[in-house]
Amino acid sequence: MTTPTQPQAHTSIEDYLEGEQGGDIKHEYLAGQVVAMGGASDKHGLIAGSLYAALLPAARRKHCQLFIADMKVRVDHDTGSYFYYPDLLLTCDPDDKESPYYRRHPCLLVEVLSPSTERIDRREKLFAYQTIPSLREYLLVDPDRRCVEVYRFGETVRHETFTEGGFWLDCLGAEITLDDVYVDAEAL
């Protein structure tokens, strides 16, 4: 969840990564600009946690690494380098361990939407994420109603919306039900 701040001088990647290790507030890095992130709602946290719990058994079977909230994804583009904190990041590349603070080769990224970040998740991050060659799926999860959008990347980009039942994740070879995603959030 990115919140714009005042314009600032260009920050190096090294200074950004060092600053993130000692700070209490998370920041995203956008080609030299550091942007503070806001907090998440209770539904946001419950949905991210439920998805993590639903994906973890399949991730372990495939010897993948599944991270929630605190692992950055690094995206290198012609315009610079970008570091985002997706709500969930899954990498199945055993060599994707260049840094203990970010990954470059995810096969799945998940963002739980919020009013302040939905536009960024749907535009900026969708554009940035689809430049990652290893990325197979990008999920956008609505915290207020049963709705999971899946962007599938390959030779073309496919967009699917699920409002009942479940959805298949090619990256893990697993089906996730909407009941699994929303079980805790709907109890609020």
What are the structure tokens assigned to 18, written together? 């060092």
3-class DSSP state of 166: strand
Rounded CA separation 3/5 (Å) = 7
pTM listed for this prediction: 0.90
Instruction: Summarize the confidence of residues 173-177 as an average pLDDT.
Output: 97
Residues 6+ apart with CB under 8 A from 184: 46, 47, 49, 50
Rounded CA separation 156/18 (Å) = 37
Mind listing the pLDDT tens digit for each residue in 117-138? 899 999 999 999 999 999 999 9
Under a CB-based contact definition with an 8 Å cutoff, are residues 77 and 128 in contact?
A: yes
Mind listing the pLDDT tens digit for each residue in 20-69? 887 788 888 999 898 888 778 899 999 999 999 999 999 999 999 999 98
1 — pLDDT class (breaks 50, 70, 90): very low
What percentage of the chain carries pLDDT values higher than 70?
Answer: 96
- The answer to whether residue 15 scores a pLDDT higher than 50 is yes
* CB-neighbour burial class of residue 74 (10 A; exposed 0-12, middle 13-18, buried 19+): buried
